[in-house]
Structure 1
Amino acid sequence: MTGSRAAARPAGPGPHPGGTARDAPEDVLGRLGGSWTWMLGSALATLVPGILLLVWPDATLHVVAVLFGLYLLVTGAFRFVAVFGQERGDRLPGLLIAVLYVLAGVLCLRNPLQTIAALSVIVGVVWLVSGLLTAYAGLAAKDLPHRGVVLGAALLGIVAGIVVLALPSESAVALTRLLGLWLVLLGVMELAVAFAWRAALRRITH
């Protein structure tokens, strides 16, 4: 799931109100996390594993767990940096999402030979909780551009989590197809959020 931004701000170097250069680590992360290209990278990190799972449905459970663990870790890193692109008061939901993704990724990679049910629970909980947190952030953030797109992505994540938890797969092939399908859908939605964010930044810049 994609995190929300409090308001569209043009990315790029600039002075602080006090006149000092914006070269602090937090400012660097803020410019990076607030850029639409960073959001695009996050969307691709979701879309690519989904495509791999769909074109490789016969992958073993071990491969699926490792691939999904890597997806969760990479996405968690993207989410963590994206937190700094938000206003300070709006960072908590995004930070919780990042931590959730990283912890779930570690669980998948630490025991890749776990059962289908265990993997389904991990993935379902991650998508459900991150979707709820993204929806909360989207509703609470002030001056959020394209709020409908962000809330749509959050809703899709909630539905994906519920489906994975409510419909446990009986085989690795079924689980692979299910996870691949939802990853592709989530990735496409995150692409829409990224391009909507680019449009908002261009309007502010020009």
Structure 2
Amino acid sequence: MTEPRGSAAHGGPEPAPDGTTPGAAGDPADVLAGLGSSWTWILMSALATLIPGIIVLAWPGGTLHVLAVVIGLYLLVTGAFRFVTAFSRGEHGERLPRLLGAVLFVLAGVLCLRHPLQTVAALSLIVGTVWLLSGMLTAYTALAAKDMTHRGLVLGAAALGIVAGIVVLALPTESAVVLTRLLGLWLVLLGLIELGIAFAWRSALRKGRAGDLPGPTGPTAPV
């Protein structure tokens, strides 16, 4: 899940209307920071969660192998988005949990794509653990960032991720069809929350100057 990040550095270059920061081509970290601060990047991250959820719900009769591939690709792509958005926050103390979340998603995606682990129990354990831990990391980041915009929305996304993780881990899913519907439902809900965060961040960018605005945090969101 993607979550809005904390305040951008004052006195720096003013971002473009979509939230990107011009003149940051010299330093790779600055390039990633400018990209991760764009509301369109948050929007793409939301779509990366929403679209797999729709696919999974629309094709509940798909094989467990197909489900594992879809979920694995979702985790890998989300991990890439989280890695980029981690650099949109200047404070290294808040960057660390976001980078940990990105690594968590990537490792989980690799595990889902491994054929020996493509079982109902393995997928439930992997996805449930990722959602639970990433939700906790997102909540910690939101509470630690005093200047975060739309903190309530971010905390709501974190709570949804935690609940989703607990439900997937706690409920026995002996059927691949049951697991498919459960994961698809949570992916759609999480994707819709992230869409709300993306448009809320776009609205904040349009209403204020870059130096006075909190920058978005990622996927979690970002998480």
* TM-score (normalised: structure 2): 0.85
Question: Alpha-carbon deviations, 1:117-137, whole Å to 9, x = none?
Answer: 111000000000000000000
Where structure 2 has 5 or more consecutive residues not aligned to the other structure, the ranges are 10-14, 211-223
Matches of 1:107 and 1:174 in 2, distance apart?
Answer: 21
Q: Does 1:131 align with 2:135?
A: yes
Matches of 2:185 and 2:109 in 1, distance apart?
Answer: 19
Q: Counterpart in 2 of 1:173?
A: 177
Note if contact 2:36-2:85 (Cα within 8 Å) is conserved in structure 1: yes
- Letter aligned with residue 52 of structure 1: I
CA-based RMSD of the aligned residues comes to 1.5
CA deviation after TM superposition for structure 1 residue 112, in Å:
6.1
Matches of 1:136 and 1:115 in 2, distance apart?
Answer: 32
How do residues 6-85 of structure 1 correspond to structure 2 at under 5 angstroms? 6-7=6-7, 10=15, 11-14=20-23, 22-85=25-88
CA deviation after TM superposition for structure 1 residue 142, in Å:
2.6
Matches of 2:90 and 2:207 in 1, distance apart?
Answer: 19
Q: Counterpart in 1 of 2:106?
A: 102
Matches of 1:125 and 1:177 in 2, distance apart?
Answer: 18
Note if contact 1:62-1:112 (Cα within 8 Å) is conserved in structure 2: no
CA deviation after TM superposition for structure 1 residue 188, in Å:
0.1
CA deviation after TM superposition for structure 1 residue 22, in Å:
4.9
Matches of 2:38 and 2:151 in 1, distance apart?
Answer: 17
Q: Secondary structure at the match of 1:2?
A: coil
Q: Counterpart in 1 of 2:219?
A: none
Q: Secondary structure at the match of 1:92?
A: helix
Q: 1:143 aligns with which of 142, 147, 159?
A: 147
Equivalences, count: 200
Question: Alpha-carbon deviations, 1:109-160, whole Å to 9, x = none?
Answer: 1226622011100000000000000000000013100000100000000000
Q: Counterpart in 2 of 1:162?
A: 166
Q: 2:123 aligns with which of 115, 119, 126?
A: 119
Question: Alpha-carbon deviations, 1:161-196, whole Å to 9, x = none?
Answer: 000001121111110000000000000000011111
Matches of 1:112 and 1:127 in 2, distance apart?
Answer: 22
Where structure 1 has 5 or more consecutive residues not aligned to the other structure, the ranges are 15-20
Matches of 1:71 and 1:162 in 2, distance apart?
Answer: 19
Percent identity between matched residues is 70
Q: Counterpart in 2 of 1:17?
A: none
Matches of 2:22 and 2:32 in 1, distance apart?
Answer: 12
* TM-score (normalised: structure 1): 0.92
Query: Aligned in 2, Cα 1:153/1:173: closer, same or farther, shift over 3 Å?
Result: same
Q: Counterpart in 2 of 1:190?
A: 194
